[in-house]
Amino acid sequence: MSLLAAAGTLGVVLAWRARHTGSPRLRRRGVAAWLAVLVLPLAPGLILPAMPAAAATSLSLGTNSSTFVEPVAPKARHVVGEVSNAASSDSARSVRVTCRLYDQDNTVLQTETTDTAADILLGGETSPFDALFLVPPASYDHYGCELTGGAATTTVANHQFTTLVTSVTTGDEGLPHVSGTVTNNMDVPVRDLTVILTYYDSAGTVVDEGQVGITGPVDPGVPVNFDTVANNPDWDGVNWAAMTEALTPAVSLTPSLTFAGQIRETTSGPMTATVSNVGTGDLHIGALSFGGSDPGNFATTADTCSNTVVAPSASCSTGVTFTPNDVRAFSAVLQVPDEVSGSPQTVSLAGNGLTRAAISAAPSPLVFGNQLLATSSNKTITLSSTGLTPNGDATITGVGLDSTTDFTVDASGCPSAPAKLAAGSSCPIVVTFAPSAVGLRSTTLNISATDDGSKAAKPAPGRPPPSARPRWRSVRSTPGPPAPGKP
């Protein structure tokens, strides 16, 4: 905090009343201060050493402030100065300065708190302030100001302009008339600009400040003229600083969505993409769409973003679903059209199309031929995993016979759950036939498999589909004559 004191300087201040009405931000910003401050006896012109500031440590109140009075009723007093943000610091918002008027006994007569002219101060920037006392007391002797507000912000400010003062002339009323240009350095048109001017004397003291509103739109790269009148006739028109700030949206959005593997011809559950407005102006969003390699395999659901306006610090969202139609990798982009540089904004999308496992067994049916009673023979069925990669591996969940009177089965050559039979591989299942009676003997070998522990494996192409039961394969044989010594 710095306590400043200066002798009153006679001046004319008129422009704040009606001259800058083009922007909603151009208005008097003063509230009663709540923070008391100890004031030591001061002589006009004395500047005390800086005291700890109440705001962020990256902000500093300049020691180059001054004051002047309007020559007409109500003869309002202005205290003008500037606040700087350190070059290495974060952006700051709600930067406020509290100024007080004192009598010669250092008694506080009036207090005013005002914001800096710039809504957001980036690192390395400086903005003027103007504390306005509409009815200053007659016993005024000196003033003091301190920094009483300011916090780091992630809100994105648009200061991407080149602002120049091109001429300063003296008008018939004796006030400096200021002309200049503003050039939009972005690649999209912008609206609601505020030109912020700081006027200095030859010693670097702030003697006045001004703001000019430009409604726009202002196209990229095209200089726009502005004109204004300085309030203090004592400014010589030589030294000045200028910046331009615009109410501009800025976008922060979900950068990418990666879907888990999805069975082809099925639709995934939604993943959410969020679009946030981290700027200072309204964000106008058009209809969302898809682009990239596979736009037709993605869709929106519960879309609150299309054709809407998102206010500063607000957000919208949309669900995105994935429906692969093949077994491969898919990619696309979700396109978010808006008025922000680089439009449309994009969200990268990716997902893999999978297939359920499929199995086949051969030979089917398995025919043993004639077999003597009291004898046995073995034959092998080859079980193949015919699913496609990725995720075409089959989990064998069951191998069994409807009847074990004449047949037995050994599936130890195949992996058992949770192990998987890899897509494209096979394993042996050995069936033993030992007839218990003369005549045609038959049974059914049941083989069940899943791709994820819950879904039945699909039949191989050309095979009959399974019923509600697990997949089956027929095994049959015709026994031969009885063995010697048997009836």
pLDDT, one tens digit for every residue, the chain (487 residues) = 222 222 222 222 222 222 333 333 443 333 222 222 222 233 232 222 333 333 345 899 999 999 998 776 778 899 999 999 999 899 999 999 999 999 999 999 999 999 999 999 999 999 999 999 999 899 999 999 999 999 999 999 999 999 999 999 999 988 999 999 999 999 999 999 999 999 999 999 999 999 999 999 999 999 999 999 998 889 999 999 999 999 999 999 999 999 998 988 999 999 999 999 999 999 999 999 999 999 999 999 999 999 999 999 999 999 999 999 998 999 999 999 999 988 999 999 999 998 777 888 999 899 999 999 999 999 999 999 887 656 678 888 899 999 999 999 999 999 988 888 988 899 999 999 999 999 999 999 999 887 653 444 444 333 333 332 233 334 444 444 444 444 4
Give the right CATH number for 161-246 from 3.40.50.2300, 3.40.50.720, 2.60.40.2580, 2.60.40.3230: 2.60.40.3230
Domain 358-477 part of CATH 2.60.40.10:
yes
Query: Considering only CA atoms, which of 239, 243, 230, 233 is closest in space to residue 64?
Result: 239
Domain 251-354 part of CATH 2.60.40.10:
yes
Q: What is the pTM of this model?
A: 0.65
CB atoms within 10 A of CB 368: 22
- Cα separation, 456 vs 449, in Å, equals 6
- Cα separation, 483 vs 206, in Å, equals 122
Which residue in this structure is represented by tokens 């395999």?
A: 297
Domain boundaries, the chain: 9-152, 161-246, 251-354, 358-477
Do residues 320 and 301 lie in contact, with contact meaning Cβ atoms separated by under 8 Å? yes
- Cα separation, 150 vs 129, in Å, equals 13
- Cα separation, 467 vs 450, in Å, equals 15
Name the architecture of domain 9-152: Sandwich (2.60)
Q: Do domains 9-152 and 251-354 have the same CATH topology?
A: yes
**Residue 254 token pair:** 């979900």
**Residue 353 token pair:** 């199309």
Q: Is beta strand 298-301 parallel, antiparallel or unpaired with respect to 176-184?
A: unpaired
